[in-house]
A = this chain, B = another copy of it.
């Protein structure tokens, strides 16, 4: 183990480095556990530094959650080519892997958003809208008609996916691959059950 040479970081680089650290901590800890003390202990980050870059602990926590949500959206981007169901499967697999690897943080985002924390709620809603809107914009095979009923069903499907991953983490019962197959298979099944308009 060698110590990396100290280099002078730009403010943007320093800020980004702090965020990377926050996201790593957030994988195995709830948001409320990311305290000033923890940051001081694990990374020698002082209260003053947090104020300087994020206006305080709350600002840091919010920036971490925002970064984590952006990571989730990036990691679960479906491939641009290929069969629509295969692309869906790739995206759902990435989602399940993300939640599996970042469970504590993910759960605290979901819990925080639903408990009436307005900042978390906004980040959560934006992330979910990005994830579901993408399904319609990337649906070049027109698996889903863009109707109010189908939009409602796709939002329902995203709640189903979230519930199933969280339940699975708590209780198992099926393999991770089976879980991925169940969630991915649910969307075309649900879409097929929506009456067509007109």
Q: Which residues of A contact B (CB under 8 A)?
A: 110-111, 114-116, 148-149, 151-153, 155-164, 167-168, 172-174, 178-179, 181-183, 185-186, 188-190, 192-195
Nearest chain-B residue to A148 (Cβ)? B173
**Sample (17) of A-B pairs whose CB atoms are under 8 Å apart:** A111-B115, A111-B116, A114-B114, A149-B174, A149-B178, A151-B173, A152-B164, A152-B173, A152-B174, A152-B182, A155-B164, A155-B167, A159-B162, A160-B160, A160-B163, A182-B193, A185-B193
Query: With a CB–CB cut-off of 8 A, which chain B residues contact A161?
Result: 156
Chain A interface main SS type:
helix
Let me know if B148 and A155 touch, CB within 8 A.
Answer: no
CA distance A182 to B115 in the complex (A): 27
CA distance A167 to B149 in the complex (A): 11
Closest chain-B Cβ to A129's Cβ sits at a distance in Å of 12
Let me know if A173 and B149 touch, CB within 8 A.
Answer: yes
Closest chain-B Cβ to A132's Cβ sits at a distance in Å of 11
Closest chain-B Cβ to A160's Cβ sits at a distance in Å of 4
Let me know if A194 and B182 touch, CB within 8 A.
Answer: yes
Query: With a CB–CB cut-off of 8 A, which chain B residues contact A167?
Result: 152, 155-156
Nearest chain-B residue to A173 (Cβ)? B148
CA distance A148 to B115 in the complex (A): 29
Closest chain-B Cβ to A156's Cβ sits at a distance in Å of 4
- Which listed residue, B162, B178, B181, B189, touches A190 by the CB 8 Å rule? B189
Closest chain-B Cβ to A149's Cβ sits at a distance in Å of 5
Let me know if B114 and A186 touch, CB within 8 A.
Answer: no
Query: With a CB–CB cut-off of 8 A, which chain B residues contact A152?
Result: 164, 167-168, 173-174, 179, 182
Query: With a CB–CB cut-off of 8 A, which chain B residues contact A159?
Result: 159-160, 162-164
Nearest chain-B residue to A113 (Cβ)? B114
Closest chain-B Cβ to A185's Cβ sits at a distance in Å of 4
- Which listed residue, B116, B163, B192, B194, touches A155 by the CB 8 Å rule? B163
